[in-house]
């Protein structure tokens, strides 16, 4: 079966985003205790929603709700008359303090819709004819209203709808589902679309989809497959579940859910994972007993690896522990070009010397996570330096310009009139060819890499290889909630001093604590859930940030370093004690005065004058307790002067 979003929808709403969960083998008549638990979960979310939104005015002002009103207005739909499904459900919950319990599948999906404020539909897959699509209504489209009658409505052309090959399933995009989309206690195969917007709540969409899959597998014995649709990836396909050979009415009233203890493969496929292409394919490969070739490519465009990149390395370590062959590919050729996956401007090309310089420390850093003796270390200059121009042109013939330009960032730049260089366009072809040369069975990468990794699947088919599975890890922000960036100064690097790592992790936003535990550490999942429950119960988040910081430091520096970093933080930050081991600086020639920027560089409190100026302008520098305001100021030096950057970096002037 295929689910897709029509190009016309993306032309109007390029940031539209859909998460899809296919739940097969659902037992919607579970043990009564499970059904009661689903009802209780729904009521708990309703109660919390009422506390969060005292009235409809507060609800309507929420950006997750108002964006649908704005979208409806763009389409000429009266938002006051036709409320999005999530707004209608939320208003009912707030007004009455309850939502009727229907059956476990519907109760759980309603609870998640209210929890994340997302339109979350449900379609009985066994009642869908052909494929399902979000598109504009066409002449002759009909809709079966959910009023219990056998009548149909004619849908006016141009109205956004969910429709299969026979009729409209949901009118006005996310307004109202028809009776043929209903989920009953006899429904066994369900498709859940979760609608959202890139840049606003796409993260919540992914989280909601993962939670749907988890709940339906744990509580209702389902097997779930998750995928995501956006402007660059407009469709997804899956094998339709075979209908039961018995009439659904003969299903027993109580059927225990199918349960299986989660093993290492289950954890590998779920922990820190944002998506898999395809989950069934990869699980079958993992359970076949065959040793898989698992690839991760890194372009050495900088000297240090930050914790965002470590997420994929942690997952690679999980594969390594299961005995699979790990391939660490350094993009010594592609690194010169630069991957444009997450860029809104052309990245400057690097020289071979710059790339070679950057790659020197990468192997050592990667070895902090992986067992280096069990890694196949590769460099794509091995094949690209030998490739003729004619061979390169032949490689390009397997793709079209339209395929390349449909990527979000290229499309945005093209519409904005920003330049897109040819070497950027061909980058996915080069990354895809890496998979051919390495005979990759699995490729790992962030969600921003899906386009490039799909190019690998396409080229492997061309070269007669079995296409690689793709596992996309979650992408994390910096502790301050912004994108992790060296230029912003918010990066956390795996080789930086233990004290710095510890202090930076304590600045983590509360909302990111457990995502960090899941993706950056290997703290057992039950322990993480216990901590999450404790924080939800009112325990101070700082307690868990300290545990997170200690776990990360211990991972890269050892337990002793983690304890010392924690003790140092209490002494120097909490109790305001000045460290005893401050580096001393004796100015050459006995200078009595220095430019502040030069002083910060000479004392190694800044790497450059530009960085020094930024630290001063941001208020991060103190001299004997005073904050200088002018980066270009002249500083009179005296013996014993204390210069401090932030809370942890010191230098003492020694003139004698």
Tell which of 574, 600, 630 closes a domain.
574
Q: Are both 506 and 364 inside the same structural domain? A: no
Cβ atoms of 128 and 164 closer than 8 Å = yes
Which helix (H) or strand (E) element contains residue 563? helix 559-569
Q: What is the CATH classification number for the domain harbouring 378?
A: 3.40.50.620
pLDDT attached to residue 177 = 85
What residues contact 88, with CB distance under 8 A and at least 6 apart? none
Taking each helix axis from N to C end, the angle separating 85-96 and 104-116, rounded to the nearest 10 degrees, works out to 90
Read off the tokens for 134: 């979000």
- Of 410-419, 463-472, 529-538, the range with the lowest mean pLDDT is 410-419
Q: Identify the three-state secondary structure at position 223.
A: strand
Neighbours of 548 (CB within 10 A): 25
Computed from CA positions of residues 101, 106, 112, 113, in that sequence, does the dihedral angle turn out positive or negative? negative
Domain assignment of residue 12, yes or no: yes
User: Beta strand pairing status for 442-446 and 153-154?
Assistant: unpaired
Q: Are residues 456 and 511 in the same domain?
A: no
Give a yes or no: residue 239 inside a domain: no
Same domain, 533 and 597: no
Radius of gyration of the chain (CA): 28
Query: Strand 593-595 relative to strand 634-636: parallel, antiparallel, unpaired?
Result: antiparallel
CA distance 656 to 585: 11
Backbone angles phi, psi at 224, to 5 degrees: -120, 145
What distance in Å separates the CA atoms of residue 269 and residue 92, rounded to the nearest whole number? 37
Helix (H, G, I), strand (E, B) or coil at 121: coil
Q: How confident is the model at residue 240 (pLDDT cuts 50, 70, 90)?
A: low
CA distance 56 to 45: 17
Q: What CATH number does residue 593 fall under?
A: 3.10.290.10
For residues 13 and 222, give the distance between their C-alpha atoms in angstroms, rounded to a whole number.
33
Q: What angle is formed at CA 537 by the lines to CA 531 and CA 541, rounded to 5 degrees? A: 55
Question: Cα(171)–Cα(88) distance, rounded to whole angstroms?
Answer: 14
Q: What is the pLDDT of residue 212?
A: 93
Q: What is the pLDDT of residue 261?
A: 52
Residue 245 forms part of a structural domain: no
Q: Check pLDDT > 50 for residue 340.
A: no
**Average pLDDT of span 316-323:** 95
* 101-130 per-position pLDDT tens digit: 889 999 999 999 999 999 998 999 888 888
The total of structural domains in the chain comes to 4
The residues, ordered by sequence, that sit 6+ positions from 618 with a Cβ below 8 Å of its Cβ are none
Judge if 620 and 521 occupy the same domain.
no
Name the domain boundary from 522, 541, 574. 574
Q: How confident is the model at residue 348 (pLDDT cuts 50, 70, 90)?
A: low
Q: What is the mean pLDDT of residues 229-254?
A: 57
Whether residue 526 lies inside any domain: the answer is yes
Average pLDDT of span 383-399: 90
Q: How far apart are CA 106 and CA 42, in angstroms?
A: 10
Please tell me the predicted confidence (pLDDT) of residue 646.
82
Choose one of 423, 456, 473: the last residue of a domain.
Answer: 473
Task: Using the predicted structure, report yes or no on whether residue 168 has a pLDDT greater than 70.
Answer: yes
What pLDDT is attached to residue 252?
Answer: 27
| CATH number, domain with residue 95 | 3.50.40.10
Q: Would you say residue 240 lies in a domain?
A: no
Pair (134, 224) in one structural domain:
yes
By the 8 A CB rule, do 234 and 10 touch? yes
CA 166 to chain centre: 35
Q: So what's the pLDDT on residue 245?
A: 38
DSSP 364-431: HHHTTTS-GGGEEEEETHHHHTT--HHHHHHHHTTS-HHHHHTSHHHHHHHHTT----HHHHHHHHHH
Mapping DSSP onto H, E and C, the string for 63-94 reads: HHHHHHHHHHHHCCCCCCCCCCHHHHHHHHHH
SS3 content of the chain, % helix, strand, coil (to 5): 45, 15, 40
Q: Is residue 553 part of a domain?
A: yes
Residue, of 181 and 542, whose pLDDT is higher: 542
Q: Residues 210, 87: one domain?
A: yes
Q: What percent of the chain has pLDDT over 90?
A: 44
Contact 615, 621 (CB under 8 A): yes
Q: Please name every residue paired with 225 in a beta bridge, in sequence order, or none if there are none.
A: 22
Query: Bridge partners of 230?
Result: 233
Rounded Cα–Cα distance for residues 102 and 186 (Å): 12
Based on the domain organization, do 561 and 450 belong to the same domain? no
469 and 529 co-located in one domain: no
Q: Is residue 461 part of a domain?
A: yes
What CATH number is attached to the domain comprising 516?
A: 1.10.240.10
> H helices of 482-558, where?
498-505, 513-520, 525-536, 541-557
Q: Exposure of 460 by Cβ count < 10 A (0-12 exposed, 13-18 middle, 19+ buried)?
A: buried
**pTM for this model (two decimals):** 0.53
User: Do 576 and 621 contact (CB within 8 A), yes or no?
Assistant: no
Torsion angles phi and psi, residue 3, rounded to 5: -120, 135
Confidence of residue 339 (pLDDT cuts 50, 70, 90): very low
- Domain hosting residue 543, numbered range: 498-574
* CA proximity to 50, closest of 96, 5, 19: 96
- Model confidence at 148: pLDDT above 60: no
Residues 325 and 179 in one domain: no
| Inside any domain, residue 491 | no
Same domain assignment for residues 563 and 590: no
| 318/355 same-domain check | yes
Whether 71 and 214 map to the same domain: the answer is yes
Averaged pLDDT for residues 55-81: 85
């Amino acid at each position: 079966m295929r689910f897709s979003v029509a190009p016309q929808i993306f032309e109007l709403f390029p940031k539209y985003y859909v998460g899809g969960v296919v739940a097969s083998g659902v037992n919607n008549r579970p043990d009564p205790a499970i059904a009661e638990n689903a009802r209780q979960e729904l009521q708990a979310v309703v109660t919390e929603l009422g506390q969060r939104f005292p009235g409809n005015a507060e609800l309507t002002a929420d950006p997750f709700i108002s964006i649908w009103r704005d979208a409806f207005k763009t389409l000429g739909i009266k938002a006051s008359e036709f409320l999005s499904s999530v707004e209608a459900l939320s208003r009912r919950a707030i007004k009455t303090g309850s939502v009727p319990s229907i059956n476990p599948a519907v109760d759980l999906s309603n609870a998640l819709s209210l929890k994340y404020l997302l339109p979350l539909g449900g379609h009985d897959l066994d009642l869908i004819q052909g494929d399902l699509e979000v598109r504009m209504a066409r002449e002759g489209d009909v809709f079966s209203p959910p009023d219990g009658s056998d009548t149909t409505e004619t849908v006016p052309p141009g109205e956004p709808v969910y429709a299969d090959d026979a009729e409209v399933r949901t009118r006005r995009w996310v307004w109202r589902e028809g009776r043929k989309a209903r989920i009953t206690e006899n429904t066994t195969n369900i498709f859940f679309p979760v609608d959202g917007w890139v840049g606003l709540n796409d993260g919540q969409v992914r989280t909601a989809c993962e939670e749907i899959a988890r709940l339906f597998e744990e509580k209702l014995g389902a097997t779930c497959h998750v995928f995501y649709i956006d402007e660059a990836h407009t469709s997804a396909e899956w094998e339709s579940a075979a209908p039961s050979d018995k009439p659904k009415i003969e299903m027993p009233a109580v059927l225990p859910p199918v349960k299986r203890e989660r093993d290492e493969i289950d954890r590998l496929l779920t922990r820190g994972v944002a998506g898999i292409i395809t989950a069934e394919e990869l699980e079958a490969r993992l359970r076949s007993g065959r040793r898989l070739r698992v690839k991760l490519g890194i372009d050495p465009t900088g000297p240090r690896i930050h914790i965002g990149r470590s997420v994929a390395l942690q997952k690679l370590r999980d594969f390594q522990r299961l005995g699979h062959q790990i391939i660490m590919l350094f993009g010594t050729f592609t690194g010169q070009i630069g991957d444009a996956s997450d860029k809104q401007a052309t990245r400057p090309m690097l020289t071979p010397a710059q790339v070679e310089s950057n790659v020197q420390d990468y192997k050592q850093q990667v070895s902090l996570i992986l067992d280096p003796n069990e890694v196949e270390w590769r460099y794509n200059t091995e094949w690209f330096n030998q490739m003729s121009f004619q061979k390169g042109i032949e490689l390009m013939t397997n793709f079209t310009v339209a395929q390349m330009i449909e990527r979000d960032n290229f499309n945005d730049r093209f519409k904005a009139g920003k330049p897109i260089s040819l070497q950027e366009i061909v980058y996915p072809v080069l990354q895809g060819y890496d998979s051919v040369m390495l005979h990759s069975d699995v490729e790992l990468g962030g969600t921003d890499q899906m386009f490039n990794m799909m190019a690998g699947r396409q080229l492997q088919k061309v070269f007669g290889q079995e296409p690689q599975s793709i596992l996309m890890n979650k992408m994390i922000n910096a502790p301050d909630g912004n994108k992790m960036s060296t230029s912003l100064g918010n990066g956390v690097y795996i080789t930086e001093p233990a004290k710095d790592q510890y202090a930076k992790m304590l600045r983590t936003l509360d909302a990111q604590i457990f995502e960090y535990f899941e993706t950056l550490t290997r703290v057992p999942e039950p322990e993480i859930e216990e901590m999450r429950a404790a924080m939800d119960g009112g325990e101070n988040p700082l307690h868990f940030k300290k545990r997170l910081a200690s776990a990360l430091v211990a991972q890269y520096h050892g337990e002793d370093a983690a304890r010392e970093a924690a003790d140092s933080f209490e002494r120097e930050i909490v109790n305001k004690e000045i460290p005893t081991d401050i580096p001393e600086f004796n100015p050459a020639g006995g200078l009595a005065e220095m430019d502040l920027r030069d002083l910060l560089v000479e004392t190694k409190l800044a790497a450059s004058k530009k960085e020094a100026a930024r630290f001063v302008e941001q208020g991060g520098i103190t001299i004997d307790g005073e904050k200088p305001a002018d980066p270009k100021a002249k500083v009179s030096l005296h013996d014993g002067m204390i210069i401090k950057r932030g809370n942890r970096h010191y230098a003492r002037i020694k003139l004698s």
